Amino acid sequence: MPHTQTQSSTPRLIAVSNRVQVETDGENANRGGLAVALAAALRQSNGIWFGWSGEQTEEFTGQIAFRRADGVATATIDLEAQDIDEYYNGFANRTLWPLFHYRLDLTEIARDFAGGYARVNERFADTLSPLIAPDDLIWVHDYHLMPLGSQLRARGFANRIGFFLHIPWPPPSLLMSLPGHSDLARGMLDYDVIGFQSEEWRQAFIDYAAVQFEATIDGDALRLGERCTRLLVCPIGLDIADFSGAVHSIAAKQAETRLVASAVGRDMIVGVDRLDYSKGLQERFAAYERLLADHPELREKISLLQIAPPSRGDVASYRQIRAELDALSGHINGAYASIDWVPIRYVNQGYSRDELFGIYRAARVGLVTPLRDGMNLVAKEYVVAQDPADPGVLVLSRFAGAAAQLPEAVLVNPHSIEEIAEGIARALAMPLAERQERHQAMLATITRHDVRWWSETFMAALAEEPGQAPGPAPTADPASDSAPADSAPANVARLRDAASAQR
Ligand code: GDG
């Protein structure tokens, strides 16, 4: 699909991510925030979303399947078995994911993985190249595609290219345990803009670049020789408008009613996580057991519902955590259950987004305790789903990116089972006025910094020509009221006006 430049001055957006997921199947659609945010930006600029279809092919051909879903043009390629093995299951999910979540113990280093990662990034660059027009803005997503910017530069593209990292950036000493770390990080400086979920991850990147490359920081830009890369803190948010609808949907109401009926007279505690070792589930279960042991008065009065749909089942460490959690929940139920009370309901099944909102709303406590998390959207979803007149309490890991934005949560160290247990006890005992106050503050932040704010802030930085005066500083603390970021940056507003004038 070669691009014919429209008369509008709106630059076209090309979004690139490992998977392309635009789902359109009605109220049960499990549309991620990313899909929603990108879809809006892509529609506005008549853009295109490029990535892997999720399908396997006998031999890689580079053939692109073009589709249009929900008003968004998508271009996908299939990958061959070796690519999926070495790039996706290998380097992305067995090397980078654990390493970037501080799990050196689970990080697998293999030459084949690194080779597959480089090969697939080259394949992405080769197949994407014919689609790129000179004025296109290119926005690459996440750890699967870190070298794509360099690959495109090597093919001569001078477009504005940005990258958003959805997961943490690890401290320099951890990153240095990865063979080839220097090339990987150096390649990042071929991007014009890099977005991070929190100041902590941005600072870790600066620390590494300062030590390894003697790069200098100039305002919010990192300079190395001729290259200048802008480093933004730009935390991802929720599609607030859509979620407000979900909270009041029939499916949400039914799920809430069902859950409340199943726990009459008991306070529900809920956790919702992909089954992943970064989410701190073993520590969470152990903390719940500690709570029951230390607070006998709470036995039979509370109930933990943990929803954990399996993910990445092709990777051994994910199968192992599943076995451990099965054993741990069985052990706790065996030790504490009575004939009419089950302490933990542990469910390995996914629910529709609407049902999930009913479940969040029925819970007195939202338990979100990842050991490390780039952001954690469940924390924000739990807050949005609450009844403002009688809200539940969010117990949140200090080590989730969301903690920087939501200091009004009960913040806990997710490695300390005592601290989590006491956090839950505190949440259960919290008076209504304090719950309301905390909830109101968090809801205001989440509403202000929603997913549209996120994509508009990033796009504004990407659209800015070098040397142009920066717009409102997106590096300002997004949790603070003084952050100017709640209004759409001016140049994005201009782009939007141009786009709607065209319609
Ligand atoms: C990565 C980063 C960052 C979960 N179970 C069900 C379900 N979910 C939805 C949740 C939430 C999403 O999945 C999970 O998002 P998280 O942000 O919590 O975590 P990751 O999947 O690890 O995402 C993370 C994110 O990227 C975005 O940048 O925040 O830090 O690790 O939306 O609701 N959805 C439905 N049924 C389920 O059973 N429908």
Query: Of the residues 141, 166, 439, 449, which is catalytic?
Result: 166
What is the structure's pLDDT at 401?
A: 97
Instruction: Read off the tokens for 335.
Output: 């030790």
What is the structure's pLDDT at 473?
A: 42
Query: Of the residues 190, 220, 354, 373, which is catalytic?
Result: 373
What is the structure's pLDDT at 70?
A: 79
Asked about 166 being catalytic, the answer comes back as yes
Of the residues 31, 378, 446, 451, which should be mutated to test ligand 1's pocket, given the most ligand atoms within 8 Å of the CB? 378
d(CA 436, CA 76): 46
| CATH for the stretch 240-448 | 3.40.50.2000
Domain at 13-237+453-501, CATH from 3.40.50.2000, 3.90.79.10, 3.40.462.40, 3.40.47.10: 3.40.50.2000
**Domain residue extents for the chain:** 13-237+453-501, 240-448
128-142 confidence digits (pLDDT tens): 999 999 999 999 999
Instruction: Read off the tokens for 106.
Output: 């689970």
Instruction: Assess whether the region 13-237+453-501 and the region 240-448 belong to the same CATH fold.
Output: yes
Low pLDDT (below 50) residues in the chain: 1-7, 25-30, 469-503
How far is the centre of ligand 1, averaged over its atoms, from the C-alpha of 378 (Å)?
6
d(CA 354, CA 48): 28
What is the structure's pLDDT at 315?
A: 76
**SS3 at position 231:** strand
d(CA 495, CA 47): 13
The number of helix segments (H) and strand segments (E) in the chain equals 19, 16
Ligand 1 pocket member 307 (CB < 6 A)? yes
What is the structure's pLDDT at 33?
A: 59
Ligand 1 pocket member 236 (CB < 6 A)? yes
Per-position DSSP letters for 261-326, written without gaps between them: HHTTTSEEEEEE--B-GGG-HHHHHHHHHHHHHH-GGGTTTEEEEEE--B--TTSHHHHHHHHHHH
SS3 of the chain: helix, strand, coil, percent, to 5: 50, 20, 35
How far is the centre of ligand 1, averaged over its atoms, from the C-alpha of 276 (Å)?
11
What is the structure's pLDDT at 469?
A: 47
Ligand 1 pocket member 351 (CB < 6 A)? yes
How far is the centre of ligand 1, averaged over its atoms, from the C-alpha of 431 (Å)?
30
Nearest CA to ligand 1 atom 15: 377
